[in-house]
Structure 1
Amino acid sequence: MQEASAVSVATQKKRELDSSFFKKGIMVALFSSLMYGFYTAFVTAGQNSQLWASWTSALNPTAFLAVFIIPTVASAINDSCSAIWALAITAKQGKLGDFGRTINTKPGIILMLSALVGGPIATVAYIIALSQAGTIVVPIAALNPAIGSILSRILYKQELGPRKLAGIGICVLAGLMIGTASLTGDSSSNMVLGLALAFVAALGWGAEGCIAGYASCMIDTQIGITIRQCVSGLVELVVVLPVLSLVGGVSLGQSFGYVGAAITDLPTILCFVVAGFSAYKSFASWYRGNSMCGTALGMACNGTYTFVAPLVTWIVVGLIMGIPGYALPPIAWIAAIVMILGIVVIAVDPKELFGKKEEA
C-alpha cells in the first residue's frame, strides 16, 4: 500500500515538473517574440542615426544605392554583430571545439545551406523592406509559418488538412488587410517594393524552417544558432554586398566605406550591437522554447512578433528618438492580431495541445 502511495506521489511530482517545463517553454517562446521586436526596433534605429540620415538625405530615395546598398550594409553589420555575440557565448560555454567539428558533418552542412536561405536572402530582404516601407511589413514577413506549411506539402508531401488550410486563409486575409493599410496610409514611393521584399523574407524563412528541421534535431541548439548567425553575417558581408555593388554599378570602396563609417560611429554601432544581440537571443530562445513546448506551439508564440515588433519600434524610434512615421494605422494593428490568429490555427492542433495539458 505504501509502495503504491509512493508511486502515486512520484507520478504526481513528475506531472508537476512536466507542466512547469511546458509552461516555461511557452514563456521562452514569447520572450523570443519580444527580442525579435527589439531586433527590429534597433535595426531601424541604426538606420535613423545622424550618420545614416546624412547618407540617405544626400541620395535619391529611389536610387539603387539608397534602396539596396545602404540597407544591405545595415543587414551585414547587424548579422555580423549577432555572429560575434553567438561565438562569444559559445566560447564561454566551452563549445567552440564542438562548433568546429559540427561544421564538417552532414547536419552541419544542411544547417549552413538553410542559413544561406534564411540569412543572406531573407534577412537582407527584410531589412530592405523595413527601410522602404517601415514596420507595416512585419506581418507580411510573418507569413513564413503559412509558407512553411505549403512548402512542406510540396517538398515532403505532408498533408494540409482543413485546419492548416483555414490558418493559411486567415494569414492571407491579414496580408490583404496590410496591403489595404499601405494604400490608405502614409505610403512611401517604395511601399510596394517593401511589401514585396517582406514576402521574399517570409518565403526565405519558411524555406529555412523546412530545410533546417532535419539538421536542428541532431545539433546542440547553441552550436546551431552560432552556425546560422556566422554563415549569415559572413556571406552578407563578403558575398551579397559586393555582388549588389557590382550589379548596381557602385564601387566596392564606396560600399565598404559605408561599413567602415558605420562601425566607427558610436551611436550607430551601439544600435547594431543591441540589434545583433536581440537577434541572437530571439533565435536562441525560439529554438529553446520549441524544444520545451513543441515546435508548433513555439512557432505560434513566436508569431506574436507581428504585433510586438511594430509596437517596440514605435516606442523606441517613434517616441524615444522622436522620429515620425512609425505609428501604424488601426487596420495594421488589427491585421497583426489576425495574423497571430492564423499562425496559431496553422501551428497548434487543439487535440494535441489539450492532450499535453491532460498528460501534464
Structure 2
Amino acid sequence: METEKKRFKKGIAFGVLVGIAWGLDGVLMGKVGQAELFTDKAYALSKGLSELSFDFSPLVTAFFHESFCFMWVALYLLCRKQLKAVFHLLFKTKKGRAAAIAALVGSPIGMSAYLLAINYATAPYASSIAVTYPGVGAILSYLILKEKLNYKSAIGIGISLFGSFMLGFNPSAGVPDTFFKGILFAIVAVFGWALEGVIIGYAMKHIKGEDDVVAEPQQFLCLRYFVSMIAYSVVILPVIGGYPMAQEVVSSGMVFKYAGIAILGAITYLSWYKAVDLVGAAMGTALNSTAALWVLVFSALLFGQTITLNLAIWGIIIVAGVFIFALGPLTEKNK
C-alpha cells in the first residue's frame, strides 16, 4: 500500500512539473518573441529580412524551439541507448510512420499556431484556450473513431469550451489590437493538437500485424520532434523566406535563449509521460491543463503583467472543465 502511495505522490509531482514547465515555456517564448527583430518591421527590413518572414517570425521561433527539443530528447535517449529505436520506428514500422503524420499536424500546425497566438493575443490568453485541446480531441474521437464519451466528460468539455468562448470573445481592456487574430490562431492550435491525438488513436486501433512493436513513449516523442524539425527546415522556413531571420537569431545570440527554453519543452513531455505512467492518463491530462494558470503566475511574477479578474476567472473555469472532463471516467470507474 505504501508503494502505491509513493507512486501516486511521485506521479502528482511529475504532473505538477508538467504544468509549471509548459506554462513557463509559453511565457518565455512570448517574451523572447518581443525582441526588436520580431516586432520592429523597419529594423527587420534594415537587416535584409523580407516582410513575409517578419510577419511569420513566430514560425522561425517554432523552428528553433522544436529543433532544440529534439536535440535534448535525443540526447536523453542517447544516454539511455534508445536513440536508434526512434529511427527504426520511423523507417521500419507503420505505427512510426503514422506517428510521423500525426506529428505534422500537431507540431508544424499546432505549435506554429500556438506561438502565433502568443504573439498576437499574449501568452495568458493563448494558453488558457489551448489547454482545451483534450476535450476537442475527445469530441473528434467520438465523431470520427466512434469512441464513447460519458456524460461527466461531456459536461467538463462544455464548461471548458464555454470558458474559452467567454475569454476569447469577451476580452479585458488593454488587450493588443491583434487580439482576435491571436484567438483564431489559438483555436487552430487546439484543433491541430486534437487531430494529432485522433490520428494516433486511429492508427493504433486499425494498424494490424505490429503487435510485436514495442517502443517507449519517449521514443515516439523524439520521433515527433524530429519530424517537426525536418518539416520546418525543409518546407516552412524556405516558403516564408525564414533562413535569413534564423541566421540573425543565431548571430545575435538569441539562439541560446531558445536552447534554454527548449529544455522546458522537453521536460514538459518527458514529465507528462512519466506522470501518465504513475497516475494514469486522466490525472496526467488534468494536471497538464494547469499550465494555463502557471502562465498567469509567471507572467505576473517575472514580467509584471497585469492579470485581470476576467482572465483569472475564466482561466480557472477552463482548467476546472478540463479536470472534470479528464477525471470523469475515472470517478465513474471507482464508483
Above 0.5 in TM-score? Answer: yes
Distance in 1 separating the partners of 2:12 and 2:130? 22
Letter in structure 1 aligned against 2:96: G
Q: Is the 8 A contact 2:153 2:328 kept in 1?
A: no
Q: Structure 2 residue aligned with 1:188, among 176, 180, 194?
A: 176
User: Could you tell me whether the CA contact under 8 Å between 1:129 and 1:195 is conserved in 2?
Assistant: yes
Asked whether the equivalents of residues 51 and 265 of structure 1 are also in contact (C-alpha less than 8 Å), the reply is: no
**Structure-2 residue corresponding to 1:291:** 277
* Cα deviation, residue 90, structure 1: 1.4
The aligned residue for residue 208 of structure 1 is: 196
Percent identity, aligned pairs only, is: 24
Q: Residue 225 of structure 2 is aligned with which of 229, 233, 245?
A: 229
Alignment partner of 1:33 is 2:19: yes
DSSP-derived class of the 1:188 partner? coil
Q: Does residue 152 of structure 1 match 2:148?
A: no
Contact 1:41/1:313, CA 8 A, preserved across alignment: yes
Task: Provide closer, same or farther for how the CA distance between residues 23 and 350 of structure 1 changes in structure 2, counting only shifts above 3 A.
Answer: farther
Q: Which moved more, 1:287-296 or 1:119-128?
A: 287-296
2:109 pairs with 110, 121, 126, which one? Answer: 121
**Partner of 2:210 in structure 1?**
none
Displacement of 1:221: 2.1
Give me the TM-score of the superposition, normalised by structure 1: 0.82
Q: Aligned residue for 1:260? A: 247
Deviations 1:229-275 (A, max 9, x none): 111122122212223x2xxxxxx3xx211001102222x22221122
Unaligned runs of 5+ in 2: 46-50, 206-212
**Which of the residues 73, 86, 108 maps onto 2:73?**
86
Report how many aligned residue pairs link the two structures: 320
Q: 2: distance between equivalents of 1:172 and 1:75?
A: 26
Deviations 1:271-314 (A, max 9, x none): 21122111111011112211211111110011111111232234
1:89-144: CA deviation from partner (whole Å, max 9, x where unpaired)? 11111112222212221221121111111100000000011111102121111110
Match of 1:313 in 2: 299
Against the structure 1 CA distance between its residues 164 and 352, is the aligned structure 2 distance closer, same or farther, given a 3 Å change threshold? Answer: closer
Please report the TM-score for the alignment, with normalisation by the length of structure 2: 0.88
* CA deviation string 1:208-247 (max 9, x = no partner): 122234659952122111111111122122212223x2xx
Going from structure 1 to structure 2, the CA distance change for 1:292 and 1:56 (only over 3 Å counts) comes to farther
Give, as a single letter, the amino acid of the residue that structure 2 aligns with 1:127.
L
Residue 348 (structure 1) aligns with = 327
Q: Is this contact kept in 2: 1:300–1:344, CA < 8 A?
A: yes
Aligned to 2:48: none
2:128 and 2:315 in contact (8 A); partners too: yes
Report how far residue 21 of structure 1 moved.
1.0
Q: Distance in 2 between matches of 1:355 and 1:18?
A: 16
Q: Structure 1's 29 and 149: CA in aligned 2 closer, same or farther, altered over 3 A?
A: same
Equivalent-residue separation in structure 2 for 1:89 and 1:343 (angstroms):
31
Q: Distance in 1 between matches of 2:322 and 2:309?
A: 20
Asked if residue 198 in structure 1 is aligned to residue 186 in structure 2, the reply is yes
Tell me whether 1:76 sits opposite 2:55 in the alignment: no
Q: Is the 8 A contact 1:42 1:274 kept in 2?
A: no
Partner of 1:349, secondary structure, is helix
Contact 2:282 2:330 in 1 (8 A): no
Determine which structure has more spread, i.e. the larger CA radius of gyration: 1
RMSD over aligned Cα atoms? 2.3
| Residue 56 of structure 1: how far off its partner (Å) | 7.1
Q: Is the 8 A contact 2:36 2:43 kept in 1?
A: no
Find the counterpart in structure 1 of residue 32 from structure 2: 46
Residue 153 of structure 2 corresponds to 164
Distance in 2 (CA, whole Å) between partners of 1:343 and 1:163 is 11
Given the superposition, is the C-alpha separation of residues 80 and 231 from structure 1 closer, same or farther in structure 2, using an over 3 Å criterion? Answer: same
Q: Which moved more, 1:171-180 or 1:223-232?
A: 171-180
* Amino acid in structure 2 at the alignment position of 1:291: D
Q: Verify the 8 A CA contact 1:39 1:274 in the aligned structure 2.
A: no
On the 8 A contact 1:181/1:329 being kept in 2, the answer is no
Amino acid at match of 1:200: V
